[in-house]
Amino acid sequence: MEKSKVLVVGGAGFIGRRLVAASLAQGHPTFVLMRSEIGVDVDKVQTLLSFKAKGARLVEASLDDHAGLVAAVRQVDVVVSALSGTYIRSQVKLVEAIKEAGNVKRFLPSEFGMDPSKMEHALAPGRITFDDKMEVRRAIEAASIPHTYISCNCFAAYFCPNLGQIGTLLPPKDKVRVYGDGNVKVIFVDEDDAATYIIKTLDDPRTLNKSIYLRPSENILSQSDLIVKWENLSGNVLEKIYIPADEFLASMKGFWQSIRNGTHLPHFLRRLPDKL
Protein backbone atom coordinates (compact mmCIF):
# COMPACT_ATOMS: atom_id res chain seq x y z
CA MET A 1 0.00 0.00 0.00
CA GLU A 2 1.26 3.46 -0.87
CA LYS A 3 2.30 5.44 2.18
CA SER A 4 0.49 8.66 2.99
CA LYS A 5 2.31 11.93 2.52
CA VAL A 6 2.79 13.46 5.96
CA LEU A 7 3.19 17.07 7.05
CA VAL A 8 4.65 17.54 10.54
CA VAL A 9 4.03 20.91 12.16
CA GLY A 10 6.41 21.67 15.02
CA GLY A 11 8.90 19.16 13.67
CA ALA A 12 11.94 20.73 15.35
CA GLY A 13 10.56 20.31 18.87
CA PHE A 14 10.98 17.63 21.51
CA ILE A 15 8.39 15.18 20.18
CA GLY A 16 8.18 16.72 16.70
CA ARG A 17 11.70 15.74 15.72
CA ARG A 18 10.97 12.18 16.76
CA LEU A 19 7.79 12.15 14.68
CA VAL A 20 9.71 13.34 11.63
CA ALA A 21 12.36 10.67 12.17
CA ALA A 22 9.71 7.96 12.58
CA SER A 23 7.82 9.12 9.49
CA LEU A 24 10.98 8.96 7.39
CA ALA A 25 11.96 5.59 8.88
CA GLN A 26 8.56 4.12 7.98
CA GLY A 27 8.81 5.29 4.39
CA HIS A 28 6.33 8.15 4.36
CA PRO A 29 7.02 11.07 2.02
CA THR A 30 7.62 13.57 4.81
CA PHE A 31 7.11 17.32 4.76
CA VAL A 32 8.10 19.57 7.65
CA LEU A 33 6.60 23.01 8.15
CA MET A 34 9.37 25.57 8.55
CA ARG A 35 7.75 28.37 10.50
CA SER A 36 9.06 31.92 10.76
CA GLU A 37 8.28 31.63 14.49
CA ILE A 38 11.49 29.69 15.06
CA GLY A 39 13.32 33.00 14.60
CA VAL A 40 17.05 32.70 15.27
CA ASP A 41 16.89 29.38 17.14
CA VAL A 42 20.04 27.85 15.68
CA ASP A 43 19.38 24.38 17.09
CA LYS A 44 15.95 24.20 15.46
CA VAL A 45 17.22 25.46 12.13
CA GLN A 46 20.00 22.87 12.18
CA THR A 47 17.46 20.17 13.07
CA LEU A 48 15.29 21.12 10.10
CA LEU A 49 18.27 21.11 7.75
CA SER A 50 19.27 17.68 9.02
CA PHE A 51 15.79 16.41 8.13
CA LYS A 52 16.15 17.87 4.65
CA ALA A 53 19.44 16.00 4.24
CA LYS A 54 17.61 12.76 5.14
CA GLY A 55 14.93 13.27 2.51
CA ALA A 56 12.29 15.43 4.19
CA ARG A 57 10.90 18.40 2.31
CA LEU A 58 10.81 21.73 4.11
CA VAL A 59 7.72 23.84 3.48
CA GLU A 60 7.78 27.49 4.52
CA ALA A 61 4.63 28.89 6.12
CA SER A 62 3.57 30.72 9.27
CA LEU A 63 0.69 30.00 11.60
CA ASP A 64 -0.48 33.53 10.81
CA ASP A 65 -0.20 32.93 7.05
CA HIS A 66 -3.50 31.27 6.20
CA ALA A 67 -2.83 31.05 2.46
CA GLY A 68 0.61 29.59 3.09
CA LEU A 69 -0.80 27.00 5.50
CA VAL A 70 -3.49 25.99 2.98
CA ALA A 71 -0.85 25.62 0.27
CA ALA A 72 1.30 23.45 2.55
CA VAL A 73 -1.62 21.25 3.59
CA ARG A 74 -2.66 20.67 -0.02
CA GLN A 75 0.62 18.88 -0.68
CA VAL A 76 -0.04 16.04 1.78
CA ASP A 77 -2.55 13.43 2.92
CA VAL A 78 -1.99 13.61 6.68
CA VAL A 79 -1.12 16.46 9.04
CA VAL A 80 0.53 15.77 12.39
CA SER A 81 0.91 18.66 14.81
CA ALA A 82 3.57 18.69 17.52
CA LEU A 83 3.04 22.29 18.57
CA SER A 84 3.43 22.91 22.28
CA GLY A 85 2.97 25.51 24.98
CA THR A 86 1.48 28.80 23.83
CA TYR A 87 1.04 27.40 20.32
CA ILE A 88 -1.52 24.76 21.37
CA ARG A 89 -4.45 27.11 20.86
CA SER A 90 -2.95 28.26 17.54
CA GLN A 91 -3.81 24.86 16.12
CA VAL A 92 -7.28 26.27 15.46
CA LYS A 93 -5.62 28.20 12.61
CA LEU A 94 -4.26 24.91 11.32
CA VAL A 95 -7.74 23.39 11.54
CA GLU A 96 -9.10 26.26 9.45
CA ALA A 97 -6.42 25.68 6.81
CA ILE A 98 -7.14 21.94 6.72
CA LYS A 99 -10.84 22.61 6.34
CA GLU A 100 -10.28 24.97 3.41
CA ALA A 101 -7.76 22.67 1.71
CA GLY A 102 -10.30 19.83 1.86
CA ASN A 103 -7.87 17.06 0.95
CA VAL A 104 -6.56 15.83 4.32
CA LYS A 105 -7.42 12.23 5.17
CA ARG A 106 -6.26 12.45 8.79
CA PHE A 107 -5.26 15.12 11.30
CA LEU A 108 -3.44 14.37 14.55
CA PRO A 109 -3.48 17.43 16.82
CA SER A 110 -0.76 17.97 19.36
CA GLU A 111 -1.85 16.05 22.44
CA PHE A 112 0.40 13.05 23.20
CA GLY A 113 0.13 13.43 26.98
CA MET A 114 -2.85 12.82 29.25
CA ASP A 115 -6.25 12.64 27.55
CA PRO A 116 -7.58 16.20 28.00
CA SER A 117 -11.18 14.97 27.97
CA LYS A 118 -10.49 13.17 31.26
CA MET A 119 -8.60 15.99 33.00
CA GLU A 120 -11.37 18.26 34.27
CA HIS A 121 -9.88 18.00 37.76
CA ALA A 122 -6.43 19.27 36.72
CA LEU A 123 -4.90 22.32 38.40
CA ALA A 124 -3.35 25.26 36.57
CA PRO A 125 -1.21 25.58 34.56
CA GLY A 126 -1.89 22.08 33.28
CA ARG A 127 -5.62 22.76 33.26
CA ILE A 128 -5.07 25.67 30.85
CA THR A 129 -3.28 23.39 28.41
CA PHE A 130 -5.98 20.73 28.65
CA ASP A 131 -8.68 23.36 28.05
CA ASP A 132 -6.80 24.60 24.99
CA LYS A 133 -6.54 21.06 23.63
CA MET A 134 -10.26 20.54 24.10
CA GLU A 135 -10.95 23.75 22.20
CA VAL A 136 -8.89 22.37 19.31
CA ARG A 137 -10.83 19.09 19.47
CA ARG A 138 -14.11 20.96 19.26
CA ALA A 139 -12.86 22.88 16.22
CA ILE A 140 -11.75 19.64 14.52
CA GLU A 141 -15.07 17.93 15.09
CA ALA A 142 -17.11 21.00 14.12
CA ALA A 143 -15.21 21.07 10.82
CA SER A 144 -15.79 17.30 10.32
CA ILE A 145 -12.06 16.72 9.82
CA PRO A 146 -10.95 13.05 9.98
CA HIS A 147 -8.72 12.73 13.03
CA THR A 148 -6.93 10.56 15.57
CA TYR A 149 -6.24 11.63 19.15
CA ILE A 150 -3.15 10.12 20.79
CA SER A 151 -2.62 9.79 24.55
CA CYS A 152 0.91 8.77 25.53
CA ASN A 153 0.40 9.58 29.22
CA CYS A 154 3.83 10.48 30.71
CA PHE A 155 6.98 10.89 28.62
CA ALA A 156 9.75 8.95 30.35
CA ALA A 157 12.46 11.57 29.76
CA TYR A 158 10.55 14.09 31.88
CA PHE A 159 9.53 11.87 34.78
CA CYS A 160 11.91 8.94 35.12
CA PRO A 161 15.47 10.35 35.39
CA ASN A 162 14.41 12.74 38.19
CA LEU A 163 12.27 10.10 39.95
CA GLY A 164 9.26 12.38 39.56
CA GLN A 165 10.88 15.41 41.22
CA ILE A 166 9.52 18.84 40.35
CA GLY A 167 11.96 21.42 39.03
CA THR A 168 14.78 19.21 37.79
CA LEU A 169 15.52 16.52 35.22
CA LEU A 170 18.42 15.03 37.21
CA PRO A 171 18.20 12.15 39.70
CA PRO A 172 18.47 13.11 43.40
CA LYS A 173 21.69 12.18 45.15
CA ASP A 174 20.71 11.76 48.81
CA LYS A 175 17.07 12.68 49.37
CA VAL A 176 13.92 12.32 47.33
CA ARG A 177 10.54 14.01 47.66
CA VAL A 178 7.69 11.52 47.59
CA TYR A 179 4.29 12.95 46.71
CA GLY A 180 1.39 11.50 48.68
CA ASP A 181 2.20 7.89 49.58
CA GLY A 182 4.15 7.42 46.35
CA ASN A 183 2.04 4.44 45.31
CA VAL A 184 -0.20 5.93 42.61
CA LYS A 185 0.46 4.15 39.32
CA VAL A 186 1.12 6.12 36.13
CA ILE A 187 2.12 5.12 32.60
CA PHE A 188 5.55 6.02 31.25
CA VAL A 189 6.31 5.89 27.53
CA ASP A 190 9.63 6.18 25.74
CA GLU A 191 9.40 9.14 23.37
CA ASP A 192 10.94 7.35 20.38
CA ASP A 193 8.60 4.40 20.88
CA ALA A 194 5.67 6.81 21.09
CA ALA A 195 6.64 8.46 17.81
CA THR A 196 6.92 5.07 16.11
CA TYR A 197 3.43 4.01 17.16
CA ILE A 198 1.94 7.43 16.41
CA ILE A 199 3.14 7.25 12.81
CA LYS A 200 1.85 3.68 12.52
CA THR A 201 -1.69 4.93 13.20
CA LEU A 202 -1.75 7.23 10.18
CA ASP A 203 -2.78 4.69 7.54
CA ASP A 204 -4.61 2.33 9.87
CA PRO A 205 -8.40 2.49 9.28
CA ARG A 206 -9.00 1.18 12.81
CA THR A 207 -7.66 4.41 14.31
CA LEU A 208 -9.78 6.81 12.25
CA ASN A 209 -11.77 9.22 14.45
CA LYS A 210 -10.63 7.35 17.56
CA SER A 211 -8.62 8.08 20.71
CA ILE A 212 -5.56 5.84 20.97
CA TYR A 213 -3.91 5.13 24.33
CA LEU A 214 -0.30 3.96 24.55
CA ARG A 215 -0.06 1.83 27.70
CA PRO A 216 2.95 -0.53 27.80
CA SER A 217 2.08 -2.95 30.60
CA GLU A 218 5.64 -3.07 31.93
CA ASN A 219 5.76 0.72 32.13
CA ILE A 220 2.90 1.18 34.58
CA LEU A 221 4.79 2.25 37.69
CA SER A 222 4.43 4.35 40.82
CA GLN A 223 6.91 6.93 42.05
CA SER A 224 7.95 4.43 44.73
CA ASP A 225 8.61 1.85 42.00
CA LEU A 226 10.86 4.32 40.20
CA ILE A 227 12.76 5.09 43.40
CA VAL A 228 13.33 1.41 44.13
CA LYS A 229 14.60 0.80 40.58
CA TRP A 230 17.02 3.71 40.90
CA GLU A 231 18.24 2.56 44.29
CA ASN A 232 18.87 -0.94 42.91
CA LEU A 233 20.77 0.47 39.94
CA SER A 234 22.79 3.02 41.89
CA GLY A 235 23.35 0.96 45.02
CA ASN A 236 22.36 4.03 47.05
CA VAL A 237 19.33 4.14 49.35
CA LEU A 238 17.70 7.59 49.32
CA GLU A 239 16.10 9.32 52.29
CA LYS A 240 12.38 9.74 51.55
CA ILE A 241 10.68 13.02 52.41
CA TYR A 242 6.93 12.47 52.16
CA ILE A 243 4.76 15.38 51.04
CA PRO A 244 1.12 14.75 52.07
CA ALA A 245 -1.27 14.95 49.13
CA ASP A 246 -3.42 17.70 50.66
CA GLU A 247 -0.36 19.81 51.45
CA PHE A 248 1.02 19.34 47.96
CA LEU A 249 -2.26 20.20 46.23
CA ALA A 250 -2.89 23.23 48.43
CA SER A 251 0.57 24.62 47.76
CA MET A 252 0.28 24.07 44.02
CA LYS A 253 -2.65 26.49 43.81
CA GLY A 254 -0.28 29.36 44.42
CA PHE A 255 2.91 27.78 43.12
CA TRP A 256 2.77 28.87 39.49
CA GLN A 257 1.69 32.39 40.31
CA SER A 258 4.57 32.73 42.76
CA ILE A 259 7.00 31.50 40.12
CA ARG A 260 5.68 34.06 37.60
CA ASN A 261 5.93 36.81 40.21
CA GLY A 262 9.37 35.71 41.35
CA THR A 263 8.22 35.56 44.96
CA HIS A 264 8.26 32.37 47.01
CA LEU A 265 8.05 28.64 46.50
CA PRO A 266 5.84 26.28 48.49
CA HIS A 267 7.59 25.79 51.82
CA PHE A 268 8.49 22.14 51.25
CA LEU A 269 10.17 23.04 47.95
CA ARG A 270 11.77 26.12 49.48
CA ARG A 271 13.46 24.24 52.27
CA LEU A 272 14.63 21.18 50.39
CA PRO A 273 17.34 22.55 48.06
CA ASP A 274 19.58 23.26 51.06
CA LYS A 275 19.30 19.59 52.00
CA LEU A 276 19.83 18.06 48.57
Residues annotated catalytic, as ranges? 133
Return the closest-CA partner of residue 125 out of 80, 185, 166.
166
Identity of residue 109 = P
Q: Around Cβ 36, how many Cβ atoms within 10 Å?
A: 12
The total of other beta-carbon atoms located within 10 Å of residue 77's CB is 19
Q: Is the distance from CB of 109 to CB of 136 less than 8 angstroms?
A: yes
Q: For the beta carbon of residue 275, count every other beta carbon within 10 angstroms.
A: 9
> What's phi and psi for 117, nearest 5 deg?
-70, -10
Q: Can you say whether residue 109 is alpha, beta or left, with left for phi > 0 and alpha for psi between -120 and 50 degrees?
A: beta
- CA-to-CA distance for 35 and 264, rounded, in angstroms? 37
Cα 180 versus chain centre, distance: 25
CB 224 within 8 A of CB 183: yes
Q: Which long-range contacts (CB under 8 A, 24 or more apart) does 136-145 make?
A: 136/88, 136/89, 136/91, 136/92, 136/95, 136/109, 137/109, 139/91, 139/92, 139/95, 139/96, 140/95, 140/107, 140/109, 143/95, 143/96, 143/98, 143/99, 145/95, 145/98, 145/99, 145/104, 145/107
- Amino acid letter at 39? G
